[in-house]
Structure 1
Amino acid sequence: MNQTAIAVNGSGLNCDVVAAVARDGAFVTVTPQAVERARQAWEVVREVATRQPVYGRTTGVGANRNVLIEDDAAHGLRVLRSHSGGAGPLMSAETVRAMLIVRLNQIAAGGSGVDPDVLGALADVINRWLIPPIPAYGAIGTGDLTALASTALCLIGERPWQGNVVGAHFPLRPADALAFISSNAATLGESALACRDVLELLRVSIPVTGLSLLAVQGSAEAYAAPVHAGCPHPGRRRVADAMRGLLEGEELKPARIQDPYGYRAFPQVHGPAVDAVENAETVVTREINASSENPLVDVANRTVWHNGNFHTAYVGLGLDAVRAAMFQTAALSAARLGTLVEPTFTGLQPFQAAPGEPGSGIMILEYVAHSAIADIRRLATPSALGSAVLSRGVEEHAGFSTQSARATTEAVTAYRIVLACELIAAVRALRMQGREPSGRLGEVFARSADALDSAVEDRALDGDISSAADLLPRLAPYGVY
Structure 2
Amino acid sequence: MVDDSPVVLDGQSLGADDVVRVARYHAPVALHDDGLARLDASWHASQRLVVRRQVYGRTTGVGANRDQIVSTAGWAEHGLRLLRSHAGGLGGMLPEEQVRAMMVVRLNQLLAGGAGVRRAVADALLAALNSSCYPGVHEYGAIGTGDLTALAETGLTLLGERYWLGSTQTPDPIELDSGDALALISSNALTIGMAGLAWQDAHQLLKATHVIAALSFLAVDGAVEAYDERVHLGRPHPGQVAVAAEMRRLLGAPSRPPARIQDPFGYRCFPQIHGPAVDAATDLGRVLDVEFNAAAENPLIVADHFGPEDDAAYHHGAFHSAYLGQALDRLRLSMLHTGHLSTARLATLVEPNFTGLRPFLAEGVPGSSGVMILEYSANSALAEVRTLAEPASIGNAVVSRGQEENSSFAFQSASQALRSLGAFRLVLACEVVAAVRALRLRGITPDTPALRAAFEAAESKLNPDMSDRQLSPDVEVASSLLDDFASY
Q: Secondary structure at the match of 1:268?
A: helix
Query: For each residue in 1:300-331, what CA deviation from the matched residue of structure 2 results, as whole angstroms up to 9, or x when unmatched?
Result: 24111000011000000001000110000100
Counterpart of 2:145 (choices 129, 142, 147) is: 142
Residue 398 of structure 2 corresponds to 389
Deviation at 1:174, TM superposition (A): 4.1
Instruction: Calculate the TM-score normalised by the size of structure 1.
Output: 0.98
Partner of residue 262 from structure 1, selected from 248, 262, 266: 266
For 2:268 and 2:148, locate their aligned partners in 1 and report how far apart those are by CA, in whole Å: 47
Q: Which residue matches 2:307?
A: none
SS of residue paired to 2:479: helix
1:302-317 mapped onto 2 (5 Å cutoff): 302-317=311-326
Aligned to 1:437: 446
2:109 is equivalent to residue 102 of structure 1: no
Query: 1:363 and 2:366 equivalent?
Result: no
Give the secondary-structure state (helix, strand or coil) at the position aligned to 1:297.
Answer: strand
Which residue matches 2:66?
Answer: 65
d(CA) in 2 for partners of 1:31, 1:232? 42
Are the equivalent residues in 2 in contact too, given 1:104–1:122 (CA < 8 A)?
A: yes
What residue in structure 1 maps to residue 285 of structure 2? Answer: 281
Residue 15 of structure 1, CA deviation:
0.8
Contact kept? 1:234, 1:271, Cα under 8 Å: yes
Counterpart secondary structure, 1:162:
strand
The size of the alignment, in residue pairs, is 478
Aligned ranges 1:173-322 → 2 under 5 Å? 173-300=177-304, 301-322=310-331
Match of residue 486 from structure 2: 476
Shift of 1:13: 0.7
Alpha-carbon distance change, 277 to 137 in structure 1, aligned in 2, over 3 angstroms: same
- Percent of matched pairs sharing the same residue: 48
1:450 aligns with 2:460: yes
Counterparts of 1:126 and 1:166, CA distance in 2 = 11
Corresponding residue for residue 128 of structure 1: 131
**Does the 8 Å contact 2:42/2:115 carry over to 1?**
yes
Partner of 1:325: 334
1:342 partner letter? E
Shift >3 Å, 4+ stretches: 163-166
SS in 2 for 1:251: coil
Question: 2:361, 2:371 within 8 Å by CA — same for their partners in 1?
Answer: yes
AA aligned opposite 2:174: F
Q: CA deviation at 1:117?
A: 2.3
Asked whether 1:377 is paired with 2:378, we answer no
Task: Return the letter of the residue paired with 1:24.
Answer: Y
Residue type at the aligned position of 1:183: S
List gaps (5 residues or longer) in structure 1: none
Which residue number in structure 2 is paired with residue 462 of structure 1?
A: 472
Structure 2 stretches of 5 or more lacking a match? 305-309
1:2–1:25 Cα contact (<8 Å) kept: no
- Tell me by how many angstroms 1:281 deviates: 1.1
State the Cα deviation string for residues 113-155 of structure 1 (Å, max 9, x = none). Answer: 0112222211111011111000100000000010001011110
State the distance in 1 between where 2:3 and 2:250 align: 32
> CA distance change for structure 1 residues 251 and 153 in 2, over 3 Å: closer, same or farther?
same
User: Counterparts of 1:185 and 1:460 in 2: how far apart (Å)?
Assistant: 43
TM-score normalised per structure 2:
0.96
In the alignment, what sits opposite 1:346?
355
Q: After TM superposition, give the deviation of residue 51 of structure 1 in Å.
A: 1.0
RMSD over equivalenced CA pairs, Å: 1.2
Q: In structure 2, what residue type is equivalent to 1:307?
A: H
Shift of 1:33: 1.3
Report the alpha carbon displacement of residue 165 of structure 1 after superposing the two structures with TM: 4.7
User: Compared with structure 1, are the counterparts of its residues 84 and 203 closer, same or farther at alpha carbon in structure 2 (3 Å cutoff)?
Assistant: same
* SS of residue paired to 1:277: helix
- Write the distance in 2 (CA, Å) between the matches of 1:13 and 1:76: 29
